[in-house]
Amino acid sequence: MKTNRRHFISTTLAGGITAAALPLSSYGSPEADSENANYAKLDAVLNEPVFRKELFVDPVIIESVELLRYGKSFLCRVRSKDGAEGISVSHNTMNVLYPIFVNRVQPVFINQDARRLDELIDKALVFAFNFRFGGVAIGIPLATVEFAILDMMGRIAGKSVGQLLGKIHNTHIPVYQATEWREKPVKESVALIKAAVRKSKAQAVKIKVGALMFMTKDLDAKGPAGRTEEIIPLIREAFGDDMALYADANGYYEDVNEAIRVGKLLEEYNYSYFEEPVFFDWLEGTKQVADALSIPVAGGEQQHGVHAFRWLLANEGLDIVQPDHYYFGGMIRSLKAARMGKAMGKLCIPHLSGGFGFIYMLHLVSGMPNAGPHIEFKGYTDLPIECKTSSLRLENGTIKVPTGPGIGVDIDPDYVRKYDVVKDA
Ligand SMILES: [Mg+2]
């Protein structure tokens, strides 16, 4: 949504109180609504609260927000004035982002009522021009504090994080095995992918197509010649007709026609979606690929604004939305993207960036009415944790969502004591 300042001023002057009283966070623009009716549906979703503040009668004032560090590992601990506590595990990128957390995010939340979490997240994005750190630089610090606050609020209310954010739609989450190795020759790639699936026993798998991304050392490399064209049929052959297969180009294709050519090959071998066919911020290119293919086009792990999802959904540019709950600034924002997808009849298959994140992923997906058939899985955490309500292991293709209060997982307190509070950054 672009706010039309001229329209706002003229309506305010002519119409008085009604327009002037619109909340600043309200979504919607008259011009867009008249062009495309989908915007009204999407804006209705964006104006719905996510955090269920009605579960809390009294204010929960945040007394402290601490970033804790042990080597390259970071936790966040929040405490309320009444002594409630929540803890979160940050993403490994916090190793370079902690000054943003300490100087730009932490101060926004201290002394605030945690029941205003939706609003605090929005404000933290604007505070001190934080949006200039658009992307993981602001998203990961925001997500880190949000997860800790959700854990604290869940422990106060005796509710799981999913319950704090809406209804529970899923209790056991089916997963697909994420794989890499696009820099390896085809044969070696296939062997590694088969071994990964054998090990995890996942009942679906995603492969990489295209080149020049993660693990590619040579900037001019095109990847092993013909790898994409060869691996697509070979993986179908390796796993049989019944296995759900997905493919991810990580935005590699610079040419829409090239992306469409690969998409047609995926269709021929019955893959179920094609992820990030072109660079993530090329919204029109993504739509052109989606328009030309019958295979669903997925994307969104790199998006950092809700309006990118809004445009893509309103204009039928994306069939599956994939916010990442760390990169995108938390579960509340990710659920907004998912619910916008739902309003357009689309699925959400969030992106997972690994490590402890899969536990947050379980909670996020538990509250998702339009989760896809398999959710990303990249392995378990190596932190010493205890969970009384789930093995947190893949069993029969699914992982059970913890049902205890907050995230339902406790980190060994002796281990937490090894961490120091980050004071100056
Ligand atoms: Mg991806």
- Tell me, what CATH number does 389's domain have? 3.20.20.120
Q: Are residues 357 and 209 in the same domain?
A: yes
CA of 213 relative to ligand 1 center, distance in Å: 11
345 and 223 share one domain? yes
CA distance 184 to 227: 9
Compute the distance from residue 10 Cα to the ligand 1 centre, in Å.
44
* Structure-block tokens of residue 155: 């422990």
Domain match, 210 and 280 both:
yes
Is 44 inside a domain boundary? no
What's the confidence (pLDDT) of residue 12? 34
- Residue 149 is part of a domain; what is its CATH number? 3.30.390.10
Residue 326 lies in a domain: yes
Please indicate, yes or no, whether residues 233 and 375 belong to a single structural domain of this protein. Answer: yes
Is residue 42 a part of any domain in this protein? no
325 alpha carbon – ligand 1 mean position (Å): 13
Q: Convert the pLDDT of each residue in 62-101 to its tens digit.
A: 999 999 999 999 999 999 999 999 999 999 999 999 999 9
Q: How far is the CA of 46 from the centre of ligand 1 (A)?
A: 25
Residues 123 and 177 in one domain: no
CA 8 / ligand 1 centre spacing (Å): 39
Q: Do residues 256 and 359 both lie within one domain?
A: yes
Q: What does the alpha-carbon distance between residue 8 and residue 56 come to, in Å, rounded to a whole number?
A: 35
pLDDT value of residue 425: 80
By the 10 Å C-beta count (0-12 exposed, 13-18 middle, 19+ buried), 117 is classed as buried
**Is residue 124 one of the residues assigned to a domain?**
yes
Per-residue pLDDT at 415 exceeds 60: yes
Q: Which pTM was predicted?
A: 0.91
Output the CA 301–ligand 1 centroid distance in Å: 6
Cα–ligand 1 centroid distance for 180 (angstroms): 10
In terms of domains, do 154 and 175 share one?
Answer: no
| Alpha carbon separation from 168 to 160, 173, 333 (Å, rounded) | 9, 12, 17
DSSP H stretches of helix in 204-356: 227-239, 256-268, 283-292, 306-314, 331-343
Kindly give the distance from the C-alpha atom of residue 13 to the centroid of ligand 1, in angstroms, as a whole number: 47
Residue 14 has a pLDDT of 36
- What's the CA-to-centroid distance between 376 and ligand 1, angstroms? 10
Domain containing 31: what range?
1-35
The whole-number pLDDT of residue 3 equals 36
DSSP 296: P
pLDDT, average across residues 382-404: 96
Measured in residues, the chain has a length of 425
Predicted confidence band at 225 (pLDDT cuts at 50, 70, 90)?
confident
What pLDDT is attached to residue 34? 63
Separation of CA 261 and ligand 1 centre (Å): 19
pLDDT, tens digit (0-9, with 9 covering 90-100), for 294-352: 999 999 999 999 999 999 999 999 999 999 999 999 999 999 999 999 999 999 999 99
Strand, coil or helix: what is 160? Answer: strand
Phi, psi of 66 (to 5 degrees): -120, 135
Using an 8 Å Cβ cutoff, are 337 and 321 in contact? yes
What are the CA-CA distances from residue 222 to residues 165, 247, 274, 331, 405 (Å)? 43, 18, 19, 36, 48
Instruction: Point out which residues pair with 351 in neighbouring strands.
Output: 324
Q: Are residues 182 and 198 in the same domain?
A: yes
Residue 40 covered by a domain:
no
Residues 174 and 136 in one domain: no
Q: What is the domain count for the chain?
A: 3
Between residues 216 and 44, the one the model is more confident about: 44
Are the C-beta atoms of 28 and 39 separated by less than 8 Å?
yes
Pair (290, 307) in one structural domain: yes
- Cα 352 from Cα 248, distance rounded (Å): 13
CA–centroid distance, 183 to ligand 1, in Å, is 16
Please give the distance, rounded to the nearest whole angstrom, from the Cα atom of residue 351 to the centre of ligand 1.
Answer: 7
Q: Over the Cα atoms of the chain, what is R_g?
A: 22
User: 24-48, pLDDT tens digit by residue?
Assistant: 456 666 655 567 999 999 999 999 9
- Same domain? 403 vs 417: no
Angle at 344 between CA 343 and CA 350, to 5 degrees: 85
Q: Is the pLDDT of residue 202 over 70?
A: yes
CA distance 363 to 48: 20
For ligand 1, the distance from its centroid to the CA atom of residue 192, given in whole angstroms, is 18
| pLDDT one-digit tens code per residue, 167-195 | 999 999 999 999 998 888 899 999 999 99
- Residue 45: inside a domain, yes or no? no
| 41 domain residue, yes or no | no
How many Å apart are CA 298 and CA 307, to the nearest integer? 16
Q: How confident is the model at residue 354 (pLDDT cuts 50, 70, 90)?
A: confident
Q: Are 403 and 357 part of one and the same domain?
A: yes
216 pLDDT exceeds 90?
no
| 317 Cα: distance to centroid of ligand 1 (angstroms) | 17
pLDDT of residue 185: 87
| Residue 419: predicted pLDDT | 98
Collect contacts of 124-132 with beta carbons under 8 A, ≥24 apart.
125/329, 128/104, 130/100, 130/104, 130/105
Asked, for residue 47, whether it belongs to a domain, the answer is no
